[in-house]
Amino acid sequence: MNIIYLILFILIIVIILLIINCIKNKDKFNNLHKLNAYCINLKNKPQNFNFINNEWSNYLNINRFIALDNCTKSHRFLLNYIWRNKETLKFPIVIIEDDVYKLNNFDKYWNLILDVKNIDYITLDCFLIKISKNQNLNNNNFVLLDKHNQAGFIIYFKQFFDKFKSINHLNTYIKEPIDISLTHNKKIIKATPIEQI
């Protein structure tokens, strides 16, 4: 009789472990690509960079960039660097700030990013958006924007950098604050997922 109880006990444990394993695997995300990224991080906040690495390492190959005097100067420096090296860098490329986190439905859109065509950038943390009346994106998962605030997570496509004939030309688009000057410019084609992620 004790053997039967022991076998039942072992069987129950095995079933519980199988159920737990199924639940864990159900939540696993099959990431189809990792993008290169620059994280703007305050020098005295390495814990924020550690957070970004933990939060985003499955999606991004992250390089730390020590923030300059202000947000716009940091973004401008990185955008200038990318423009200078646009023929050798792999696109799309991300500029992320050190305080961005993902929401539950992030994974739903991540693998769709490379399907978006004829776009300058995709923003994933936009705020105070104005959706464009012209929705010729041919992609039901993203919407075109006329403008938005925030520049905390932007995925830049090579098309954005090819718009500019020189660094000076690029810099005419990057005024202070960047999260209004660049993001409100109607000459830049920008999109965001249809849900907040």
Q: Which tens digit of pLDDT belongs to each residue from 145-182?
A: 888 788 889 999 999 999 999 999 999 999 888 878 88
The region of weakest confidence among 90-94, 110-114, 155-159 is 110-114
Residue 86 lies in a domain: yes
Residue 69 lies in a domain: yes
Q: Are 127 and 174 in contact (CB under 8 A)?
A: no
Q: How far is it, in rounded angstroms, from Cα 183 to Cα 127?
A: 11
Does residue 19 carry a pLDDT above 70?
Answer: no
Residue 92 lies in a domain: yes
Query: The domain that contains 62 carries what CATH number?
Result: 3.90.550.40
Domain membership of residue 130 as a residue range: 31-193
β-strand pairing of 142-149 with 190-193: antiparallel
Residues of the chain with pLDDT > 70, as a percent, come to 90
Number of separate domains in the chain: 1
Between 22 and 191, where is the model more confident?
Answer: 191
Residue 176 lies in a domain: yes
Inter-CA distances, 33 with 59, 112, 148, Å: 7, 10, 26
Residue 112 lies in a domain: yes
Residue 15 lies in a domain: no
Is the four-CA dihedral 92, 93, 99, 101 of positive or negative sign?
A: positive
Residue 7 lies in a domain: no
**pLDDT computed for residue 186 by the predictor:** 87
Question: What 3-state class would DSSP assign to 20?
Answer: helix
Q: Are 121 and 154 in contact (CB under 8 A)?
A: yes
Residue 73 lies in a domain: yes
